[in-house]
Amino acid sequence: MSANTPVSSDSRFNEEADLIARHFFSPEDLQLSPEEYAARHAHLLGCFALHRYRYRDPDLGAWVRRLGEILFMEGAVERCRARFLTPEELATVEKQKAEGL
């Protein structure tokens, strides 16, 4: 490969992301199921690609991949919210979404 050879855009996903994920998600976040995390925080994520990386820690990798599935599956976040949030929490999430928070 020469210095001028373009690098595939997907090559960045071949790196291990354990450190990145552990900086992004607190230990308390990781105590929640991916479903509950999505219910409570999906509206705060502008974009998400961590599920595409490799992980040394298989439990962390499975958690992040499941979160990615939920975020990108039609209607999954709404189903998680219906399951995990109280009416008051759901109202707060809807208000934050409307305000762009």
pLDDT in tens, 19-54: 999 999 999 999 999 999 999 999 999 889 999 999
77/44 Cα distance (integer angstroms): 12
Tokens in use for 90?
């759901």
Q: Where are the domains of the chain?
A: 16-99
**Average pLDDT value over all residues in the chain:** 87
6/14 Cα distance (integer angstroms): 16
**Cβ contacts of 11 within 8 Å, gap of 6 or more:** none
Give the pLDDT confidence score for residue 8 in this predicted structure: 40
Beta bridge partners of 16: 54
Gyration radius (Cα) of the chain, Å: 16
- DSSP code of 52? G
